[in-house]
Amino acid sequence: MAKKKKNRKQLLAGGIAAGVVGALYASLLPLNRPIHFILFAGLMALAGWVVYTMAGGLDVSQKAPVQRSTPASGNPTVDQLVHQGMKMLAEIREENALIPDEMISGKIDQLEDIARRIFATVADKPEKAPQIRRFMEYYLPTVLKMLTNYRKLGERGVTGENADRMKKTVEDAMDVVLDAFQKQHDQLYSSDVLDVTTDVKVLETLLKQDGLLESETRPGSSQAAAGQTMTM
């Protein structure tokens, strides 16, 4: 869709330029010989082509592809894994640029963001790399294949009931994939959450034992209460 809009703008700019040059030529120079008409048409075509080309190069309505750097872990095996993942994300981004449906395109953007966070986590904690093997070997390649097929069917002009069914299928699949990718990212931190919870519990226990933290039942409180009762 972005390409079509860009081409329309280029054609419009080229047509206007050709018209302006033609009008100027007709008002300033004679048109009473065949050579004049040939020159007239040539100048219009040249002006239209130049402006058409310039409009294509100066169009900033479409954002330039963002270059994503590959996170480095220092572990060659993990770095290769992350590099392959980032390469697949770049291919998914290319497919996204060719898909006109804004809803699906927005979901692809979300998917890419989650995937990049997954790779950043693995680069930061290389020991977590085994947890994303299936993510790398199946999930990402399947998403890329699905989007490629969707884009090709759109380019072939599939319309009507088939197009609607295809669109709904891809939308539903993207929702499932987004949820799965988010869970994959969360699972990378599940052990960290458990470690933090354990550390906090141990810390609280030690603080209570050293009398540095108020507790519901202080050591010796029951014995002290019993002694007071006996004295009374």
Top CATH class, 76-192:
mainly alpha
Q: Which CA distances in Å does 70 have to 74, 79, 187?
A: 12, 8, 22
Alpha-carbon gap, residue 192 to 199, rounded angstroms: 10
- The pLDDT, as a whole number, for residue 97 is 92
> Please, are residues 55 and 13 in contact by the beta-carbon 8 Å criterion?
yes
pTM above the 0.75 mark? no
Q: Where are the domains of the chain?
A: 2-58, 76-192
- The pLDDT, as a whole number, for residue 188 is 87
Mean pLDDT split into 10-residue runs, the chain, 232 residues? 52 69 68 69 68 57 47 83 92 92 91 93 91 91 92 82 83 91 87 64 73 59 47 46
Q: How many C-beta neighbours within 10 Å does residue 115 have?
A: 23
- The pLDDT, as a whole number, for residue 200 is 74
- The pLDDT, as a whole number, for residue 221 is 46
